[in-house]
Amino acid sequence: MCASTKERDHVVIVGAGVAGCHAARNLAVDHEVTVLDRSGIAAEATGLSAGIVAPTLFYSDAPAVARYANGFFREFDGSHGFSFTKRDRIDVMTESEAAEAQDLATRLSEEGFPVAYRDSSAITERYQQFNLEEFAGAVVYEDTGWVDPYTYTTALQSAARERGATFNLDVEVTDLVVDDGDVSGVETESETIDADAVVVAAGWRTSRLLPDGVEVQIRPYRTQVVVLEPGEPLSTEFPLGRVGTEHVYFRPEHNGDLLIGGGHYPIDDPASYTTDVDESFRLDIADFIPEFVDGFEKAGFVNGWAGIDTASPDTRPIIDAPRDAPDGLLVATGFNGLGIMTSPVVGPTVRERLTGDSPSFSTDLFAADRFEDVPESFEYVSTSDV
Ligand SMILES: Cc1cc2nc3c(=O)[nH]c(=O)nc-3n(C[C@H](O)[C@H](O)[C@H](O)COP(=O)(O)OP(=O)(O)OC[C@H]3O[C@@H](n4cnc5c(N)ncnc54)[C@H](O)[C@@H]3O)c2cc1C
């Protein structure tokens, strides 16, 4: 379901997270773009992110999307102060997961991605700190890495500004203005801003801004991170990874600490949560990591935090005009804990919906009408299970 492709000169984007900044960068080439944020750049989920980039894994069923996202991080590397840290990733598998993991690795390798399945002894020969007695092996990705999410987003902002976009921060959008079935602007606390199109990229608050009767199938959920300092700093070869059965993922920090993420659960009232990490998640990590990685027996707790992202029924974002939306209204939300790595598709997808310019990948995965038969209170699926 696309917004019509008539010319839309002024586009207002609500939200200066990674989604809004990417949309701004792409649209500013040939539109007047104004980005409004109630606080600042990367102020919510984006700034709290672990910044892991692994599109080949999470878009294994959509190789053109994975290729586009992988390519973007490499092309953008070095622009506007942004840098992409390349690092291999191991997705650790139990005996019962091994056969499916081998099939996945074979399929991705045949598609041309640098992916292979290795048994546990091959993994521990290469990465000696891991204790994989309980596991059969791992899928190794050699096209993964991470970004600092704040610097990445400010680099996107700077690229968008260079193309003429304006960013007005500390400005809350209180409502959309709709005339005769067309979006004609937004209301803020102090003024009405006219627009030919509006892109709402407001994270979990996106639903609140939609006109009555217009819905997107997203629900908020909480997700957490803990950083541990090992006895000795991790080497510069230490990989990223995930242990699906434990619902945790990890990546090294530049200083040799280890960031561990997980502890996801759906919530109904996001405004009532703090950014403090749950004690129960912290204790789970304190139990698991010293068993799994050598050198963490006396690890120090450095930091921990929690953020709120939005889940969709199939773990993929919704970048489209919702059903029954006024003409000229798009949303970009539902990033399911993968919004940094998926962000490169936001700009081209928004562009296609507004102008008809098609990118090198199909945007059908991000269409709003794919959920027609899904109930509003859908079951939350964690991307740890994908
Ligand atoms: C702890 C944690 C770890 C994560 N790790 C990873 C990872 O390793 N890799 C990965 O790819 N992804 C990760 N993610 C997910 C990723 O951070 C999100 O999917 C992504 O940042 C979502 O971006 P967004 O722009 O949609 O939303 P947000 O970053 O939440 O931005 C929405 C913006 O809209 C603004 N806004 C809201 N309402 C209004 C309004 N009414 N008026 C004006 N402005 C408004 C907010 O202030 C906010 O700045 C993680 C997330 C968390 C919380």
Digit-coded pLDDT (tens) for 41-63: 999 999 999 999 999 999 999 99
Q: CA end-to-end span of the chain, whole Å? A: 26
Q: Is the pLDDT score of 197 beyond 50?
A: yes
80 in a structural domain: no
Pick from 272, 293, 311: which residue ends a domain? 311
304 with 228, same domain: the answer is: yes
Number of domains, the chain: 3
129 with 196, same domain: the answer is: no
pLDDT in tens, 298-347: 999 999 999 999 999 999 999 999 999 999 999 999 999 999 999 999 99
Asked if 123 and 239 touch (Cβ cutoff 8 Å), the reply is no
Instruction: Give the torsion sign (CA, 80, 81, 86, 90).
Output: negative
Q: Is the CB of 317 under 6 A from ligand 1?
A: no
116 with 154, same domain: the answer is: no
Which atom number of ligand 1 is nearest to the Cα of residue 21?
Answer: 25
66 in a structural domain: no
5 in a structural domain: no
Give the distance (Å) from ligand 1 centre to CA of residue 181.
Answer: 29
124 with 162, same domain: the answer is: no
302 with 326, same domain: the answer is: no
346 in a structural domain: yes
Instruction: Give the torsion sign (CA, 92, 96, 98, 100).
Output: negative
pLDDT in tens, 157-174: 999 999 999 999 999 999
352 with 339, same domain: the answer is: yes
61 in a structural domain: no
Give the distance (Å) from ligand 1 centre to CA of residue 309.
Answer: 6
190 in a structural domain: yes
Could you tell me the CATH number of the domain that includes residue 340? 3.50.50.60
251 with 130, same domain: the answer is: no
Asked if 87 and 239 touch (Cβ cutoff 8 Å), the reply is yes
- Mutation probe of ligand 1 site: the residue of 14, 46, 189, 227 with most atoms within 8 A of C-beta: 46
- Arithmetic mean of pLDDT, 356-377: 89
Q: Is the CB of 199 under 6 A from ligand 1?
A: no
pLDDT exceeding 70 applies to what percent of the chain? Answer: 97
Asked if 224 and 265 touch (Cβ cutoff 8 Å), the reply is no
Alpha carbons within 13 angstroms on the beta-carbon side of residue 223 total: 29
Q: Is the CB of 44 under 6 A from ligand 1?
A: yes
104 with 162, same domain: the answer is: no
306 with 317, same domain: the answer is: no
Closest CA to 378 of 221, 202, 212: 221
368 with 348, same domain: the answer is: yes
Pick from 261, 281, 311: which residue ends a domain? 311
78 in a structural domain: no
Could you tell me the CATH number of the domain that includes residue 253? 3.30.9.10
261 in a structural domain: yes
Q: Is the CB of 36 under 6 A from ligand 1?
A: yes
Q: Is the CB of 148 under 6 A from ligand 1?
A: no
pLDDT in tens, 103-145: 999 999 999 999 999 999 999 999 999 999 999 999 999 999 9
Q: Is the CB of 18 under 6 A from ligand 1?
A: yes
What single-letter amino acid sits at 163?
R
209 with 323, same domain: the answer is: yes
Q: State residue 384 phi and psi, 5-degree precision.
A: -65, -25
Rounded CA-CA distance 101/99 in Å is: 5
300 with 225, same domain: the answer is: yes
- Arithmetic mean of pLDDT, 81-101: 98
Residue-level pLDDT at 385:
67
Q: Is the CB of 187 under 6 A from ligand 1?
A: no
Closest CA to 163 of 310, 272, 38, 22: 22
Instruction: Name the residue at shortest CA distance from atom 12 of ligand 1.
Output: 338
Pick from 124, 143, 162: which residue ends a domain? 143
Instruction: Name the residue at shortest CA distance from atom 33 of ligand 1.
Output: 15
- Mutation probe of ligand 1 site: the residue of 49, 221, 331 with most atoms within 8 A of C-beta: 49
Q: Which tokens in the block code for residue 131?
A: 């204790």
Q: Is the pLDDT score of 6 beyond 80?
A: no
pLDDT in tens, 243-266: 999 999 999 999 999 999 999 999
Residue-level pLDDT at 1:
46
Residue-level pLDDT at 381:
82
Average pLDDT of the chain?
A: 95
Which range marks the domain in which residue 299 is found? 219-311
- Arithmetic mean of pLDDT, 67-86: 98
Give the distance (Å) from ligand 1 centre to CA of residue 22.
Answer: 12
Asked if 370 and 304 touch (Cβ cutoff 8 Å), the reply is no
pLDDT in tens, 262-289: 999 999 999 999 999 999 999 999 999 9
Q: Is residue 190 very low, low, confident or very high in pLDDT (cuts 50, 70, 90)?
A: very high
